[in-house]
Amino acid sequence: MKFIVSSGVLLKKLQLIGGVVSSNTVLPILEDFLFEVEGGQLTAHATDLETSMSATVEVDGTGSCRIAVPARLMLDFLKALPEQPITLKVNTDNYSVEITSERGKYRLAGENGEDFPRIPTAEEARELKMASSVLANAINKTLFAVSTDDMRPAMMGVNMELGGEGTTFVATDAHRLVRYRRQDIKSPKAASLIVPRKALQLLAHALPSEETQVRLSYNNSNAFFAFDQVRLICRLIDARYPDYNAVIPTENPNQLTVSSADLLQSLRRLIILSSKSSYQTTFQLSGSSLQITARDIDFSNEGSETLSCRYSGEPMEISFNGKFLTEILTALNEDEVVMRMSTPSRACVITPAQQKDYEDLLMLVMPIMIGS
């Protein structure tokens, strides 16, 4: 069979799902896209067996077929082709694809589409909807704090707690923690889903800049995200998420309010001079003054800056990993932040000076013991 499709539209759809494709796999067919053509639509699939993505594009043609085509080869070819209608002719006898453009004719060797792994379907799934901007914001606020430690699989994803009062997104790597609550995403049935890092990275890339509705379906093993003719399916992490509420201190009498931009710029300069093993930056808090110091004893590098702030509490000296703090401040993206502390050895709670509508955002960073 053959069909006609816009090369630019097809390229855009394949780029959305191309991040799923793995080049290091024991199954060569996982390096392919699966093309399914039926009813005037081409649906392209990609999978690494843990995460799958699909995107649909309108085509001009009749009939149906399933064929697997080399993903990298197809992407590179379409990138080199000017925007134009192209004709794809599929030979189901030898699984080749002949592409005809304005100036030439090309042939790609494919594989039998029936050998492509089965894409999971949303069987016995529950469902809820959310705005794409809300989901994108939740991913951006949490993804940086997801652990990369294989020994702690539960922490290698974002925990989504669904319920009638809202949805809570949580990420932690044991050094940092983010808890992001949304009161405008509600589910009639309580559930907890640990969504892996890779799936969320792909989802963040694929979500459109224009506001749209995202349909989330889930069962005991998979989560299904659908929007704008794009679907992402991922296997949930089968583990128990740690009790993160137990590590959030509630008694924090020492409170620092400071400009997020000023603090971020100071930290970016000072961590250049800090020890690369810990990026230790030390805060000295007293009255309306915040002094930040960083040094690298091995190379005799050091720096110090003083910022204006509002501080209430006992004079205090506390050290943090400056790189962790810059990532937290970047993800917060607020004009002013409040840092609440109790002692130099206990976690520091960081929140926006003013919470937005429907949001409750809290970040936590563990201090570095001074002298360590």
* 51-76 pLDDT, tens digit each: 999 999 999 998 899 999 999 999 99
pLDDT in tens, 15-28: 999 999 988 778 99
| pLDDT at residue number 62 | 83
CA distance 216 to 127: 6
| pLDDT at residue number 236 | 97
For residue 270, pLDDT over 50 is answered with yes
Angle formed by the axes of helices 197-206 and 7-17, nearest 10°: 150
Q: Using alpha carbons, list the distances in angstroms from residue 76 to 113, 128, 256.
A: 21, 37, 52
Please tell me what DSSP assigns to residue 368: B
- Total-model pTM: 0.93
Query: What is the mean predicted confidence (pLDDT) over 73-92?
Result: 96
| pLDDT at residue number 122 | 85
| pLDDT at residue number 74 | 98
- For 137-172, the three-class secondary structure string (H helix, E strand, C coil) is HHHHHHHHHCCCCCCCHHHCEEEEEEECCEEEEEEE
Cβ-contact 319, 270 below 8 angstroms:
no
| pLDDT at residue number 369 | 83
Please tell me what DSSP assigns to residue 240: P
Query: What is the mean predicted confidence (pLDDT) over 166-173?
Result: 97
For residue 89, pLDDT over 50 is answered with yes
Query: For residue 102, how many C-alpha atoms fall within 13 Å in the half-sphere facing its CB?
Result: 7
CA distance 355 to 336: 11
Per DSSP, which regions of 220-324 are E strands? 222-227, 230-235, 254-259, 280-286, 289-296, 301-308, 310-312, 316-321
Q: Using alpha carbons, list the distances in angstroms from residue 193 to 159, 223, 234, 328.
A: 6, 8, 11, 23
For residue 370, pLDDT over 80 is answered with no
CA distance 51 to 21: 9
- Label residue 123 by pLDDT band (50, 70, 90): confident
Cβ-contact 7, 84 below 8 angstroms:
yes
φ and ψ at 9, to 5 degrees? -65, -45
Q: What percent of the chain has pLDDT above 90?
A: 92
Query: What is the mean predicted confidence (pLDDT) over 183-187?
Result: 92
CA distance 34 to 29: 9
For residue 358, pLDDT over 80 is answered with yes
Query: What is the mean predicted confidence (pLDDT) over 166-193?
Result: 95
| pLDDT at residue number 371 | 52
Calculate the average pLDDT of the chain.
Answer: 95
Order of strands, sheet of 2-6, starting from the edge strand that comes earlier in the sequence: 2-6, 85-91, 96-100, 105-109
For residue 218, pLDDT over 70 is answered with yes
CA distance 232 to 164: 25
For residue 293, pLDDT over 80 is answered with yes
CA distance 5 to 88: 8
CA distance 23 to 235: 20
Record the tokens describing residue 98, joined without a space. Answer: 């002949």
Query: What is the mean predicted confidence (pLDDT) over 100-121?
Result: 95
| pLDDT at residue number 125 | 84
- Residue that is written with structure tokens 């749209």 in the block: 212
Please tell me what DSSP assigns to residue 351: E
Query: What is the mean predicted confidence (pLDDT) over 133-153?
Result: 96
| pLDDT at residue number 287 | 85
The domains located in the chain, with CATH, are 2-115 (3.10.150.10), 126-245 (3.10.150.10), 248-365 (3.10.150.10)
- Label residue 372 by pLDDT band (50, 70, 90): very low
For residue 182, pLDDT over 50 is answered with yes
Query: For residue 88, how many C-alpha atoms fall within 13 Å in the half-sphere facing its CB?
Result: 30
Q: Using alpha carbons, list the distances in angstroms from residue 28 to 17, 113, 115.
A: 17, 13, 11
